[in-house]
Structure 1
Amino acid sequence: MVSIPLKVKGTFIPATLLELSDEDPVRIEEALTHRLESEAPLLTQAPIVLEVSQLPESAPLAPLQQVCEKLSLHLMGIRGGCEHQQKEARRLGLVCLGDSRPKPAANDDRQYRAKVHVGTVRGGQQLVHESGDLVIIGSVNAGSEVLASGNIHIYGALRGRALAGIGGDASVRIFCQALHAELVSIAGRYRPSDAIAEDILGQACQVWLEDDRLRLDPLGV
């Protein structure tokens, strides 16, 4: 029997999205340097994607890549941008993730319903629900991943990765009865385990966004 040297699996790799409203690399470097003082894990421990849809079509990308390299940030690609910018991104070895998040059509009559999973989500499993809330009656083990476009409710311990708002909805939340997460994310804003305060570990918790920053608060407080 010939052994297969690889497996192809779908996954959601969290990245930090930097939404740029200014093309000046000096100002961007100053802003990133300031953010690195307080949010180093968020910026240095995951790939960076630049949202460039608000920049002029003439804005060059090479100086922005140089800023990221200078600050030891791992620039993966861009989102949005005109055809010229996307060609430049490919020339620089960057991934183009397409336009900004699509808005649902006005006549979109799809039904968004909760998906309920009963039982433990085991290590290596990935549970995805792209059209509503995800409810897990059980724990999420280390090495597993749960993802939803809506809220995520975990009636058990969260030891793996939970990513809510995967379609871009920043109003959603993650709820769990005991927080030991490897990673939590809301609409692409994420926090790895080593950036979670120790005083919240093991508690019933909710994760949500306030002023574009993740908050992790004990339930009932």
Structure 2
Amino acid sequence: MTTSAPNRSIEFRNTTLGATIALLRETEPVGLADSLHKMLGGMPDFFNGEAAILDFSAISAPPARIDWAGLLSLLRRYQLQPIGVRNLPSELSAGARQAGLALLDNLELRERSAGDTPKPAPAAVAPAPKAEPVVPPTATPQANTVFVERPLRSGQQVYARGGDVVLLAGMSNGAEVIADGSIHCFGPLRGRALAGAQGNAAARILATNFGPDLVSIAGVYRTFEKGIPEAYAGRGAMVRLSAAGTAQNIEIDPLQLD
């Protein structure tokens, strides 16, 4: 399942404070529910309890009122925890405060960018036996590459700021890997893999054993709730973006590793 940027009524970004910014383009829970289902495949635990700041700067015509109870309930359904708002019209501020949200217009929230000073990703994982050697996909990692030598287990996350991530022993269901560049997985790719996290549409995901729950390139998602297509299930595969007019779609191509 894929979505293209022009059709989204909500977009998610990361900040250096660790909070997610939910950039809203509409406020009606019904419309947002449809966008979230298409974007995230209905996965109820996608955000894992992350804090969120609701940004209303992209709304062209402010509504007369906001259904705060419905809006917050919808976001919490995806394990997103709204804590505040910004760029909200002043006449709607009282409702936000009554809903328990802070007004954060005076707080500097710098979004993460590939130009930030690279920092080590939280790649500490539990000891585990080394995976058997596999034939690597043909791709050259970028600078600032993060190497993960042990299997990434359920509940663990790795983020490669400003570069690629290379998983030398694969990852399990329930794990998540995020990279501003590309993702290279030498072993089973399970869980969620998000490449081009800061909008790099040229990023790719390469795996020798393809079987994730979700893949994303530059914010365009595809989920596999109906299973992985037989052509590349458990085999080598490469994920990339293709463009058709203004729409961007996820494409998956088999990799010949012999």
Q: Same fold (TM over 0.5)?
A: yes
The answer for unaligned runs of 5 or more in structure 1 is: 1-14
- State the 1:89 CA deviation: 3.8
Taking the aligned partners of 1:144 and 1:44, their CA distance within structure 2 comes to: 14
Aligned partner of 1:206 among 238, 243, 252: 238
Aligned partner of 2:253 among 215, 218, 221: 218
Q: State the TM-score, normalizing by the size of structure 1.
A: 0.59
Q: State the TM-score, normalizing by the size of structure 2.
A: 0.53
CA contact (8 A) 1:53 1:100 kept: no
Tell me the SS of whatever aligns to 1:154.
strand
Aligned partner of 1:125 among 131, 134, 156: 156
Tell me the SS of whatever aligns to 1:198.
coil
Question: Size of the alignment, in residue pairs?
Answer: 199
Higher relative contact order (CA 8 A, sep 6+): 2
The answer for unaligned runs of 5 or more in structure 2 is: 1-19, 119-142
Superposed CA deviations along residues 123-163 of structure 1, whole A, max 9, x for unmatched, are: 44332222211112221122322222221111221023222
Aligned partner of 1:156 among 178, 181, 187: 187
State percent identity of aligned pairs.
Answer: 26
Superposed CA deviations along residues 108-130 of structure 1, whole A, max 9, x for unmatched, are: 58465212223432344332222
Tell me the SS of whatever aligns to 1:39.
helix
Structure 1 pair 177/87, CA: closer, same or farther in 2 (3 Å)?
farther
- State the 1:43 CA deviation: 5.0
Tell me the equivalent position of 1:12: none
Q: Which has the higher helix share?
A: 1
CA contact (8 A) 2:85 2:96 kept: no
- State the 1:181 CA deviation: 1.2
Q: CA RMSD in A?
A: 4.7
- State the 1:94 CA deviation: 6.0
Structure 1 pair 61/138, CA: closer, same or farther in 2 (3 Å)?
farther
Matched, 1:184 2:215: yes
Aligned partner of 2:111 among 70, 79, 102: 102
Taking the aligned partners of 1:79 and 1:206, their CA distance within structure 2 comes to: 38
Superposed CA deviations along residues 78-104 of structure 1, whole A, max 9, x for unmatched, are: 875337466644533568898887375
One-letter identity of the residue aligned with 1:217: I
Tell me the equivalent position of 1:82: 88
